[in-house]
Amino acid sequence: MRFHNNLKGLTMADFGNDGGLWTARLLGASAGAAVSLIYLLPKSRREAACRFFTGLACGLVFGGPTGLWIAVRLGIAGYLGPVEMLLTGSAAASLSAWWGLGVLARMAERLRG
C-alpha cells in the first residue's frame, strides 16, 4: 500500500517549534502515559518513573509521524489540523511505548526467577 499525504501541502516540517504544537505534544504524551498506567500498573516507583519518562519521550519524538500515519490510515487527514494530529499521535506513541516497556519489564523479571 502506498502512502498518500492527503494533508493539502502539510508536511512534517510544518510541525515546527510553535508553542501550541509543543503543548499538544506534551499533553498527548502525558495522556498516553496516564491511560497506559491504568492498563498495566507498575510494581515499583522506579518502574513507574522509567516507563513514564520513556512514554513521554516517545510521545514527544514520534507524535508527529504517528499522528500523520493514523490520520492517513483512517482517511481523516483532511479533517484534522496539526494540533489534533500531534495530540493524537503523541498519545498513541506514548501509550504504545509505555505498555510495551511494561510488558518487557515483566518478562525480564520472570526470566530472572
pLDDT tens by residue, 43-84: 888 888 888 888 899 999 999 999 999 999 999 988 988 899
Instruction: Give the closest residue to 88 by CA, choosing from 73, 71, 104.
Output: 71
Query: Which residues have CB under 8 Å from 111's CB, separation 6+?
Result: none
For 82, the grid coordinates are 496539526
* Integer-rounded Cα radius of gyration of the chain: 16
pLDDT at 103 over 70: yes
In whole angstroms, give the CA distance from residue 16 to residue 106: 37
Q: Is residue 47 part of a domain?
A: yes
Cβ 40 vs Cβ 101: under 8 Å: no
Number of domains within the chain: 1
For 76, the grid coordinates are 481523516
Q: Is residue 4 part of a domain?
A: no
Q: Is residue 53 part of a domain?
A: yes
Q: Which structural domain range is residue 106 located in?
A: 41-112
